[in-house]
Structure 1
């Protein structure tokens, strides 16, 4: 009724059970490829040269954060142990050899956040990488791992974030050898990666 005043001791709707506001995700899980320390340092130095060449101002990712994501296993509030367990079970079944990865293009991925990731990618299909991605995808399905569906795979390595949205540019191939894949727990907003498991490619 008009003019009625709310009892100040009554709880707001947002605090009632079932009406809590959604929490911001704090934890990310993914399977990916990381270069070893030597390759990471070399790739970081080459990335510095690309930033200078294209007149970009964004801060480069630290060498130890350079990676290729194979499967994004979701952003969550807290660590999802069920996903960790299923991902480990899936990874245990994958047996593939090491692979040389070559990226010969650099470009920005368009976003709506004001900054765009500058990434290394390849102008040609990377069959060995795609085989690893597909093998892992099937293994994750068999392990009933709850994760976002990934209908396509574009192998890439993020170098930095910048306000410029740069079109595709061809560069001298940047190569490194992937000798293992890893399960990573990323603490969102803290730039921290915690490796939960390693599986050699051999």
Structure 2
């Protein structure tokens, strides 16, 4: 179940990276961090898990911009306000390293149809307002818990990491900093 790695370049430092994502509740994010610690201990990894505040499931990349793109944020916010989707369960029952990357991720062998439907709908809404969009027919949701050079074989977790997604968010990440800025949120309604 390969997941495509994202390339980071030195000349991207300081640029704004925008993306749409699901963010777990605090307790679930803390569980993901602890799961990352257990994986690191089990496989002798030298790196620590990402902070719980950065745990997320990327849905759609929007782009990388040299400055804060007010016009793009406004257009994305307007487009996402029209999205209609019900809450759904996110369930990651396994961990593995991503092919050709240093990421250790939580995933599920069975792709969530609800998450795939949301991924497609978000891409369509961005296209409808003239924005670039990402649509990947092989989209496999995952949550990166840590980065390490030692590969981790795919294995089942002792306890799955799961929650009910009730909203999706627009996140700004300044490349080279370890923080996210939540720019907007949209509820998933029944």
Per the normalisation by structure 2, the TM-score is: 0.86
Q: State the partner residue of 2:162.
A: 175
Distance 2:21 2:74 in 1: 16
SS of equivalent residue, structure 2 residue 12: coil
Q: Distance in 1 between matches of 2:37 and 2:12?
A: 33
Secondary structure of 2:37 counterpart = helix
Gaps of 5+ in 2: 1-10
Which residue matches 2:12?
24
Match of residue 193 from structure 1: 180
Q: Which one of the candidate residues 58, 66, 70 is aligned to 2:47?
A: 58
TM-score, with structure 1 as normaliser: 0.81
Give the Å deviation of 1:63: 0.5
1:139 lines up with 2:136 in the alignment: no
- Aligned partner of residue 79 in structure 1, secondary structure: coil
- Displacement of 1:54: 2.3
User: Does 2:163 align with 1:163?
Assistant: no
From 39, 62, 72, the equivalent of 2:61 is 72
| Alignment size in residue pairs | 178
User: Residue 24 of structure 1: CA displacement?
Assistant: 3.2
5+ residue gaps, structure 1: 1-22
Aligned CA-pair RMSD: 1.9
Give, in whole Å, the separation in 1 of the partners of 2:36 and 2:70. Answer: 35
> Using the alignment, how far apart are the partners of 1:201 and 1:147 within structure 2?
20
Where 2:18 maps in the other structure, the secondary structure is strand
Cα drift, residue 147 of structure 1: 4.1
Give the distance between the partners of 1:107 and 1:196, measured in 2 at CA: 30
Verify the 8 A CA contact 1:83 1:146 in the aligned structure 2. no
Q: In 2, are the aligned partners of 1:186 and 1:194 still within 8 Å (CA)?
A: yes
Say which SS state the counterpart of residue 106 (structure 2) adopts.
strand
